[in-house]
Amino acid sequence: MKEKIGWGFIGAGGITNRFIKGLVQVPDAYLAAVASRTEEKAKAFAETHGGKAYTSYEEVITDKNVDVVYVATPHSLHMEHTLLALDLGKPVLCEKPMAPNAEQVRKMVSKSRDKGIYLMEAMWTRFFPAIKKVREWLDEGEIGKVHHVTADFGFAAKENPASRLFNPELAGGSLLDVGVYTVSFASMVFGKKPNRITSVADMASTGVDACMGCTLGYEGGGIASLFSAINVRTPQEARIVGEKGYIVIPKFWSPSKAYLYKDGLLVEEFCDNKLVGGGFQYEIAAVQDDLRAGRLENELMPLDETIAIAETMDVIRAQWGLVYPFEK
């Protein structure tokens, strides 16, 4: 692996503008190329952040300076673009959710394993120092056996049928956009798939979920209460309740702080005073560490867990009867 790792972006939308702020915080990373179907968009992004601009995704993948591809297109296109990159021999970091359904995720994982090429779902939350501290508290038994997890992530967007958030053709809806954070968080804490799932949703006029709530039950005990929304802002907080105490994580999806309570009293606080660039640098550094070590997946966000999370979301979505047009 080269001294500096070159990244190629597929997509030049809002998420890549945030991702690049993290990329520049990683000393041995740089933007080698970016592709967008809109030439002006690709050129503007490259002029601002560096790298070559392309309108062809294949060209950005095959660029000799691109060592790893970041897929940041709408959910419904993740599989197509990830498979293209893997077929052309490039490692991939694919934005969350990996794909709209488990069937597509399994195809992506299968391709990665058949080709022996790195793949990871970009669940950046896992790599924040605050989340690593939370895992440390859990591993050390600070709160004992976990009985309950709550997590919510909602923001208020104006209903617009053309927006990717509300467009069923682009796999819109709150579950896939931000609910995935809550489902992934519960999966991280309990370390397994739920064996009982109950969910409800309020649907937008376009037919996707404007907000949804679900309860997940786990074998051996444990309940997760999750909520996501694209029509209302929520506290965006997670709590983990155990038999000996509880943990509170404000803005759990990109946290800088975490609090440990016992007997109702705050006993330890973690604060990441060095957080700059939004936090994407943590997952970027993790991917680069994996590539330099020759690993094919990441231990904090393993591919089998990505499949399990997608399967859980399939069950949740099926309970409201939401089937995307490309799934029919």
Q: How confident is the model at residue 67 (pLDDT cuts 50, 70, 90)?
A: very high
Residues 154 and 234 in one domain: yes
pLDDT digits (tens, 9 = 90+) for 269-321: 999 987 777 899 999 999 999 999 999 999 999 999 999 999 999 999 999 99
Taking Cα atoms as reference points, which of 131, 177, 120, 128 lies closest to residue 153?
177
Whether residues 198 and 322 share a domain: the answer is: yes
Say yes or no to pLDDT of 90 above 80: yes
Residues 246 and 169 in one domain: yes
Segment (H or E) for 46: helix 39-49
| pLDDT digits 0-9 by tens, 96-112 | 999 999 999 999 999 99
Q: What does the pLDDT average to over 1-18?
A: 92
Find the CATH number of the domain harbouring 98: 3.40.50.720
Domain identity same for 116 and 226: no
320 lies in the same domain as 299 = no
Domain of residue 321, residue span: 126-273+309-327
* CB < 8 Å & 24+ apart, contacts of 49-55: 49/20, 51/8, 51/9
Task: State yes or no: pLDDT of 146 exceeds 90.
Answer: yes
Interval 263-273: pLDDT, tens = 999 999 999 98
> Do residues 55 and 153 both lie within one domain?
no
96/165 same-domain check: no
Same domain, 108 and 242: no
Q: Are residues 283 and 233 in the same domain?
A: no
- What share of the chain has pLDDT > 70, as a percent? 100
Angle at which helices 39-49 and 14-23 pack, to 10 degrees? Answer: 20
- Residues 81, 111, single domain; the answer is yes
Q: How many structural domains is the chain composed of?
A: 2
Residues 211 and 323 in one domain: yes
Task: Tell me the C-alpha distance between 242 and 252, whole Å.
Answer: 18
136 and 247 co-located in one domain? yes
